[in-house]
Structure 1
């Protein structure tokens, strides 16, 4: 785990990222951007051929966005600004340096781009694909089983018998600790695994069965509801990466 002194934004121009923190795992596909304020302990994990971009925000701008880790839906403009700020030759250098080594944007231009980016994020919707970290040992046992095998279609009652807890107890723990139902949590977990497989170039049908859906159409419906685009379109667009 690591903790940066400055708050920063992380964007996967290609592939998919998982941001692991004290409160659980936030999944960041390529149509979203993760904000982590200064002082929050976390680590990044990239899946597939990932092109990770990081933008640090000055304290004056960081005050304008939430003081907690957040995943935003990235607008087209926000994505373009992130790419511009992290593209080739975007660093500070001497104004007298040879032209081919000069930054693509001047410092004042970069400052303006940072302000545009923060304005976009202030208008953006939070779109968390979040897998909270369970505290109860019984809930941990259930989550571990399904993390290891997301295609497992065991009912909550069957999982309860394996872990020594009743269906009623597990249902309450999912609501109280994780803020969602068992079905919602398992769907989010499966979509997370699906994103990883798609980043590794698996096709839609392979991914659907590997993650426990009975057929590709039900997978496509669940994936589109959570991610906002179909698995096929996501795979084609995101694996292609940014232009140039």
Structure 2
């Protein structure tokens, strides 16, 4: 009934009016998010794609407002998307959902200390993308960028001048702390921390191409190319399923 990817923006409301019907134990994964940009859901898409796990994406605004925002869909209560769902289980908060899927898909380090470091890095990636986004919404954090372009420009300039370099230099130092920056963030194999870092680096390059080009972070740039070249990720990133960044807040 529900067609998994590779269909981009599967409009599930064409075949049902809410998420409640997607509760059978044999159902696959569903990812619920707005269809306007990659946004926070991209952290989760990269996990599905790298793991080769099929998923259906629900982007219908009416369904999201009714079932997630207003909580009328019988789901565990959520504040906002993205939400992942399988059978009767649903989960939000992107970092929490990322870590959960990583455990399911073999992308969570087994070693306890490495798992803790992976969580540290992933949360840092979320802090970075959140700060970058906020610069574009400095006057009204939940309002659209289009309504505050002039007034929030000083916040963007400050982020670009002083904060973005600090973030990138930290990530560069992080990578070079082991294997001379030629390996993975944690341990000897790819984890969800690598995918989180890939996402924020792609967002940085898309939003601030000149700054990304000028910043002296050779290990980061090589890491980005190396992870993007992984077969399943390369197929996704070059497909029509991969949405372009919106260009107005690293989302």
Higher percent of residues as helix: 2
* TM-score interval (norm. to shorter): 0.3 to 0.5
Q: Relative contact order: is structure 1 or structure 2 higher (C-alpha 8 Å, sep ≥ 6)?
A: 2
The structure with more radius of gyration: 1
Higher percent of residues as strand: 1
Give the TM-score normalised by the residue count of structure 2. 0.33
